[in-house]
Structure 1
Amino acid sequence: MTRRSRQGYGGTGPGPITPDGCAVELYTRLPLGDEADIVQRAVPAGARILELGCGVGRVTAGLLRRGFTVTAVDESAEMLEYVSGARTVCSPIESLELDERFDAVMLGSFLVHAGDPQVRRGLLGACRRHVSDGGCVLIQREGDGWHDNVPREAPLADGLARVVSSVPVTAQVRSVHVEYVFPEARWTQTFLSRPLTDEAFEQALEQEAGLAVDAYLTDDRTWVRAVPRRPPAAATS
């Protein structure tokens, strides 16, 4: 089943497909990586965490097991049906307004690389609105050269994940096509990505959300901790 997708985004395969091309059933099959361990090293024990774009709650579950209190946000009600043990909120990230602050806000899944810079501003604005003044924002970035090393593939549970292509659509934006192949099912996803150098990334944080990089948390610089530098801007629709 497919739904109306955002321009430049789409997906195919069994089950519900979100507007950005993510297949809900696929995400229930993906194993948890080291995200929860990275968060545990970066924030205080027992922190209240706002997880933006939680999907089916793979990382959420890992955070809960480590003693964090999690509010999990996703715009897909079908994704949120799989989340357990955490407070859930069904909402687009950009318009989220919970009227509360958290010790840490997470923006994973490479969402900061949204093709439309206005969407990125909305995502970063939501991070800043919801992080406490003494808290931090944890952001996942694409790795260096991610768009150059294609096609490439990697084993995935009992299947295979394959980045088929990353094609320029403008001077700054690329259209990425990914396949997920399992013995009994196949999914595809196409999405737009705006690569960001360290300089461009740090500039976007400062200018668009009043955030500054505090530390790069992994050797490949794909996970970043940022901290507030100025008061949050008002939410925009």
Structure 2
Amino acid sequence: MREGHQGTGPGAITPDGCAVELYARFPPGDEPDVIAAAVPAGAHILELGSGAGRVTHPLLERGFRVTAVDESAEMLERVRGAERTIRTPIEDLDLGERFDVVLLGSFLVHTADPALRHALLDTCARHVAPDGCVLIQREGADYHENVPRERVDPRGFTVRIASVEPVGDGVDSVRAEYTFPDAAWTQTFRSRALTKEQFEAALGEAGLRVDAELTDDGIWVRAVPAGRGAEG
């Protein structure tokens, strides 16, 4: 298990504390709609950290081609219909090819380790086509402050951010709880809040720049290679 990460509940738990059974049944939110509106129809998407296909499957249904990458074999076993599934840590990926879209969701950019964040963004940069884009999911502005909070989904389950505790050097330990009628899971993970300036600086170090904020809350951002003109 990765330092500071753990998970509980039925089924396999990945090194970052994610429960495979949970993510296999967890429905997508608005992510597929946000992505589809931001990229060309039928684009080939490199999805970094696909998990069990929560976002992969809706993207496939919308006519996109998806190459799904995850470090968990148990997660990738749940992915159906992808052009390829590749088991590897994201930071180690080097396919020697470029994609229309590179997708880095699940708040992965908020890893506690700055060196790992740099490596994740480098992976994005070396796989995006010169005229392509990178879509990145960020934490909301109050993610670390509005705690505890919960959302009761009309489909019958509850998601709760139970606690956010500082562990030093700007890093917080976050505990999430997921309660379904027949099962419950928890995940504890470490997250580093990023200001807009810190986020944009990290992109710049990887040779990327912000092209557009895709949602009013700024959670989804589209980035492009830094050398490309503003007209894209």
What is the aligned-residue RMSD (CA, Å)?
A: 1.1
Give the whole-Å Cα distance in 1 for the aligned partners of 2:161 and 2:226: 37
What TM-score, normalized by structure 2, do the two folds share?
Answer: 0.95
Query: Unpaired runs of 5+ in structure 2?
Result: none
Which of 221, 224, 229 is the matching residue for 2:226? 229
Aligned to 2:80: 84
Displacement over 2 Å in runs of 4+: none
Aligned to 2:177: 179
Give the whole-Å Cα distance in 1 for the aligned partners of 2:55 and 2:176: 21
> In the alignment, does 2:118 pair up with 1:121?
yes
Task: For 2:20, give the aligned amino acid.
Answer: V
Which of 29, 36, 49 is the matching residue for 1:40? 36
Q: How does 1:202-213 map to 2 (within 5 A)?
A: 202-207=200-205, 209-213=206-210
Cα deviation code 1:131-177 (max 9, x no counterpart): 01111000000000111000011114322111110111114110001
Percentage of pairs with the same residue: 64
SS of corresponding position for 2:33: helix
> In the alignment, does 2:60 pair up with 1:64?
yes
Aligned to 2:22: 26
SS of corresponding position for 1:58: coil
What TM-score, normalized by structure 1, do the two folds share?
Answer: 0.93
Which of 151, 154, 162 is the matching residue for 1:154? 151
Give the whole-Å Cα distance in 2 for the aligned partners of 1:29 and 1:57: 10
Which of 124, 127, 132 is the matching residue for 2:129? 132
SS of corresponding position for 1:128: helix
Give the whole-Å Cα distance in 2 for the aligned partners of 1:159 and 1:220: 24
Query: Unpaired runs of 5+ in structure 1?
Result: 232-237
Aligned to 1:189: 187
Cα deviation code 1:10-50 (max 9, x no counterpart): 10111000000000000112111111111111111111110
Task: For 2:55, give the aligned amino acid.
Answer: V
SS of corresponding position for 1:169: strand
Give the whole-Å Cα distance in 2 for the aligned partners of 1:177 and 1:149: 13
Give the whole-Å Cα distance in 2 for the aligned partners of 1:52 and 1:171: 27
Which of 12, 15, 27 is the matching residue for 2:11? 15
> In the alignment, does 2:206 pair up with 1:218?
no
SS of corresponding position for 2:124: helix
Aligned to 1:93: 90
Give the length in aligned residue pairs.
226
Task: For 1:158, give the aligned amino acid.
Answer: G
